[in-house]
Amino acid sequence: MRKVNTYIGAAVERVEDLRFLRGRGEYIGDVTRAGQWHMVVLRSAIGHGTIRSIDVSKALSIPGVNAVMTGKDVGSPVPRIPFRRPIPSIMPYGQPVIATDRVRYVGEPIAVVLADSQEIAEDALALIDLDIEPLPAVVDARKAMSNAVNLHEDAKDGNLTATFTGEKGDCASAFRQAALVLKGTFKTQRQTALPMETRGLVAEWDEAAGKLTMSGAAKLPFFNKRAMAKVMGLAESQVEYIEFDVGGGFGARGEFYPEDALIAFAARRFNRPIKWVEDRREHLMAIGHSREAEADVEVAFAADGTMLALKSEMFCNIGAYMRPNGTTPVRNAAQFITGPYKVDNFSVRSHAIATNKTPSGTYRGPGRYESCFFFERMMDKAAVRLGVDRLEIRRKNLIPHSAMPWPMVNIGPAEGWDATFLDSGDYHQCFDAVVAESHWAEKASNSGKMIDGRWRGLGIASFVEGGASGPREHARMELRSDGKVLLAVGSSSIGQGIETIFAQIAADALEVSLEAIEVVHGSTTLLKEGFGSYGSRATVMGGCAVIDAANNLIEAFRGAAARRLGVEAASLTIAEGVARSADGRSVKLADCAGDGLAVDGVFHNSKPTFTYGTAVAEVAVDAGTGQVQVLDYLVMDDVGRIINPETLHGQVVGAAVQGLGAVFGENLVYDDEGQLLVGTLADYEIPLASDFPNVHGHSTELHPSPNNPLGAKGAGEGGIIPVAAAVANAVADALSSMGVEPDELPLTPPRVWALIDAARAR
């Protein structure tokens, strides 16, 4: 007989996978509505220009083309996409849902064609006569700050959309006392999350009911519902978002984009179901980009390696407009630049700068990936300059367990953010465990040596991962007529296995079998309010809402059982789905299936959780070609409490491989005119399964979070955060005899070879 409360922590196979393996998943590409039209989008082919004219007459002459919409058809003024955190300074930089007078990036929507089929719509698209007068473009963030090319004339700060600042202690005094002052400049390249499934939507307008239904929700259905209502001039009750299966998200897929509004306008105007699915080329130019940042970092150290102070100025290229959540990477880069280290004197500025590139937003580990690279490279440089062991300089500066919870520097403007504390953990314990498990001492003996014609190197990096974004999450439980419990959650599925995770949590909380729980998720029809999946929040926020709903269902069951048995509710003992009276009579939960038991649950939280960990990379570098091979990669994190070790392992290892792909190849390259030079997956190189065979993830639950009843911490992003730093440090270690400093990503063979060549020429 099963012991009570054993599903949490068990390696339960994902319940979702059976339908996927049988080909029974339902993605937006599978959704078809009677009488639907297909939408395709005419996008700007230049980075910056003034629209002189648009002639759609030839396109409209093609049989099967039903309409062509331009900005004048959408409204005057054209609505802008709402922000998730409406900081005053960013308001002028919101994106119009369609360009009318001016285009600011390659891929910006200018018109849409509506036709009987996608093929017909694409043929018509090629016949639209578009005349755009080119304007000077600016693609470099630092150059854009001069405002020589001003993208937004109505914005008082020109191209500087926002600056996030943080101050702590007395930097000036600390720098005067330092034995070593070290400066460095670092760059991370522009990337995108590249989920396997491109974006797509089906919009339906019910004229009689005055209701808009959007199918294909992902990540943020409830925010998108509110945003859509605002853009369309509707009440929130007139909009519903329906979630289907999703082929990945990683922070980019599921935000509110211009196409969301355009397809909704079309559906309402023509009272027809409209379907849109982008192709991969569109996807690369139009989905949110991320990661492009440059940092000037200055650190002060005592002679023994103790860090005294840090100053940093970061320049984040956000593209032409501010995305709904576009401030997050910029703020996080400032908030997390010191990672898990104790820095008493601190001054940081992180700028969000507009350029003629695709607007940038969140991507797994936003801002943390970049700042970890900046800081951990400085730690290795300082160790070399001071003659201190790389491990010891980190041990000396890691925040001690005794200092938890550790207050983080307040980064402003802070509208909507609470004061933040690193909640729990022993960073030294995890660090030492990784060093031991990676066999650091044994491998370090090969550092900087040539073995079998290649230079060996070892690198290390530590990180923290924020999670459990508030302010709340909702769940609902209903006892069905067949005796099973229907669990509806406000969290969205983006491939992370929430049907399994939430079933485990609910089954333990109710003390019933896993098979007795059916999980539905994401759609705004299920709950009055929800918040979705972002910021590593689903397990903590959604899981704790499930616990609250389960407690409420148990109490509802107690009342129903008491009525059936004719006793006081308080006299009943409830265990394993059975209510027992003092005289031995009992009622099963399933017996009350006809009693209408349905309850809501909610979890309020303004205190985030912080997973933390360390990664070690071992590499071999071919100096003749610049090729870097990852021989071994290990990342270890402490996630507070593990709900399902198998799904967690997949998250951690998958994130690490995703990060390795970014380190070595993924790069959205633009020319000086704002032209995107990457149009296919032949240009945008992503990792293959065979590229990184020796990637290991090890997760622990040594220090539960005190901020939620599960004790869990968000764990979907930690695997990617330290990758660039650990690998770059390993490459520097391998080529230490040449003085190579890999401070700019990606580490492609040509770039590594050029660094080696330059070092040899010195």
Chain segment 426-468, per-residue pLDDT in tens: 999 999 999 999 999 999 999 999 999 999 999 999 999 999 9
* Confidence at residue 569, expressed as pLDDT on a 0 to 100 scale: 96
Which tokens go with 487? 């669990």
| Residues 571-627 pLDDT 10s | 999 999 999 999 999 999 999 999 999 999 999 998 999 999 999 999 999 999 999
Which tokens go with 716? 């979907």
CA atoms within 13 A on the CB side of 376: 32
Torsion of CA 393, 395, 397, 401, to 10 degrees: 180
* Confidence at residue 3, expressed as pLDDT on a 0 to 100 scale: 54
* Confidence at residue 1, expressed as pLDDT on a 0 to 100 scale: 38
* Confidence at residue 414, expressed as pLDDT on a 0 to 100 scale: 62
Phi, psi angle pair for 592, to nearest 5°: -95, 20
DSSP string, 428-440: HHHHHHHHHHTTH
* Confidence at residue 5, expressed as pLDDT on a 0 to 100 scale: 65
Mean pLDDT of 201-219: 96
* Confidence at residue 542, expressed as pLDDT on a 0 to 100 scale: 97
Which tokens go with 686? 């992503």
| Residues 338-396 pLDDT 10s | 999 999 999 999 999 999 999 999 999 999 999 999 999 999 999 999 999 999 999 99
C-alpha 469: how far from chain center: 12
pLDDT bucket at 689, cuts 50 / 70 / 90: confident
List Cβ neighbours of 140 (8 Å cut-off, separation of 6 or more): 317, 355
* Confidence at residue 418, expressed as pLDDT on a 0 to 100 scale: 58
What percentage of the chain exceeds 70 in pLDDT? 99
What percentage of the chain exceeds 90 in pLDDT? 95
581, 627 in Cβ contact below 8 A?
Answer: no
pLDDT bucket at 2, cuts 50 / 70 / 90: very low
CA angle 239, 240, 245 (to 5 degrees): 150
| Residues 244-261 pLDDT 10s | 999 999 999 999 999 999
Mean pLDDT of 107-132: 98
| Residues 512-538 pLDDT 10s | 999 999 999 989 999 999 999 999 999
DSSP string, 187-241: EE--EE---SSPPEEEEEEETTTTEEEEEEE-S-HHHHHHHHHHHHT--GGGEEE
| Residues 298-312 pLDDT 10s | 999 999 999 999 999
| Residues 346-361 pLDDT 10s | 999 999 999 999 999 9
Mean pLDDT of 412-421: 68
Mean pLDDT of 412-438: 87
List Cβ neighbours of 77 (8 Å cut-off, separation of 6 or more): 96
pLDDT exceeds cutoff 70 at 657: yes
Structural domains of the chain in order of their starting residue, each with its CATH number? 17-26+470-604 (3.30.365.10), 35-136+196-286 (3.90.1170.50), 418-468+609-762 (3.30.365.10)
pLDDT exceeds cutoff 60 at 131: yes
* Confidence at residue 556, expressed as pLDDT on a 0 to 100 scale: 98
Whole-angstrom Cα distance, residue 271 to residue 65? 16
